[in-house]
Amino acid sequence: MFSKQTIVTLDLEGVLAPEIWIAVAEKTGIADLRLTTRDIPDYDVLMQGRLKILERENITLSTIQKIIADLGLLEGAKDFLDSLRDETQVIILSDTFQEFAYPIMKNLGFPTIFCHNLIVENDKIVSYQLRMQDQKTKVVNALRALNYNVFSAGDSFNDTGMLLAAHKGVFFNAPESIEKQFPTLESTHSYNELLQKFRIFSETLGSR
């Protein structure tokens, strides 16, 4: 009998890297840019608000890219990802943008990432283009259809579709307010704990 392979899908910001928009808010002093999908579940509402602020404050793409280049990773993220990639395949599923992601992916050793694109004119971010609506959930469903056993981890509202669609989905350092809304999802708060959850998932499959 054919044995399904495992694959892991991870959110990027809040799981492996700091929140980009929070970093931009701290550097620019614009408090409203601190809002993320932890605060506003509707991604389009969130992004339209960000675009208005960028236009109002004359913040360019290159300014944001410079902030991202200095951002670094969450402590232990690279070692965790390296350990995970020794055991299974990993795809980063993120609602960030290709124009933002490069320095973070470089620091992580260039794992595969699925994300979106910005629409830029003369260094000004004027809009954005989703690769597809609800891409995280759709990717997990596609991987399941390809006969993978999918383990997923994320920290925010926009990850919950992915987590619920996976064979095993867990929160990683999610706010308690979000955890309480999804009581069927387990929570983890360290990379060691997250890695252990994956290993238990993988071992359970092996014993079937």
Among 13, 19, 95, 155, the one annotated catalytic: 13
CB 13 within 8 A of CB 94: yes
- Annotated catalytic, 13? yes
Range list of H helices, 146-190 = 160-165, 176-181
- Annotated catalytic, 11? yes
CA dihedral over 8, 21, 66, 190, signed as positive or negative = negative
CB 86 within 8 A of CB 78: no
Among 11, 19, 155, 159, the one annotated catalytic: 11
CA distance 142 to 151: 13
CB 53 within 8 A of CB 36: no
Residues recognised as catalytic:
11, 13
